[in-house]
Amino acid sequence: MAIKEGDKIPSATLMEITEAGPAPVSTSDLLAGKKVALFAVPGAFTPTCSAQHVPSYVNNAEALKSKGIDEIVCVSVNDAFVMGAWGKNLGAEGTVRMVGDGNGELTSALGLEMDGSKFGLGTRSQRYSMIVNDGVVEKLNVEEGGAYEVSSAEHMLGQL
C-alpha cells in the first residue's frame, strides 16, 4: 500500500556523498524537526529528470525556502556516487541534497516503486514530490506514468 498524506515516513537508510566519501543517512535524521521538500525521480542523468525535474527545484530553492521549506531533498534508486556526480553536473550542490536509495529500501517502504525494466532500468521510483513536516507527509504528488507536472517545484510552491 502506498504512503498517503498524514502518514509518517518509514524508517530507511539512504546514502549520500560527503567530503569523507559515501555516508549513510537515516530518514529520521534527514526529516526530523524540519519541513522538507522531498522529491523522487526514476533515474539520475535521465532526460526529464535532468532537464526539468531537478532544475525546477534548483531554480526555485529560494522561493521554497521563503515559504517555510528548510531543506530540499532529491531521492533516486541510484547509488550515492551517481547522485553526487549528478548533483555536481546540475549545479545542485548546496541547494538540493542528492540522496541515493540504491537498494530501493525507502522507495519500497513508501509503496512507490515502478517497473522500468522495459527501459533497462529495473525497479525504480515513481516520479513524485511531497512536503514532509517533521517526518509526516503533509502533501503528496505522485505523477501518472511518464508525466511530469504535479511533482515540480512550481506545483509545490502553490501548495505552500
Mean predicted confidence (pLDDT) in 102-119: 90
CA–CA separation, 3 and 9 (whole Å): 8
Residue 117 has pLDDT above 90, yes or no: no
| pLDDT > 90: percent of the chain | 84
CATH fold for the domain made of 13-157: Glutaredoxin (3.40.30)
pLDDT given for residue 67 in this prediction: 97
The answer for residues whose C-beta is within 8 angstroms of residue 87's C-beta and 6 or more apart is 54, 74, 93, 96, 98
Residue 122 has pLDDT above 70, yes or no: no
Instruction: Enumerate the active-site residues.
Output: 49
Residue 121 has pLDDT above 90, yes or no: no
pTM over 0.75: yes
User: Which residue has better confidence, 76 or 1?
Assistant: 76
Confidence grade of residue 123 (pLDDT, cut at 50, 70, 90): confident
The per-residue pLDDT for range 29-42, each reduced to its tens digit, is: 999 999 999 999 99
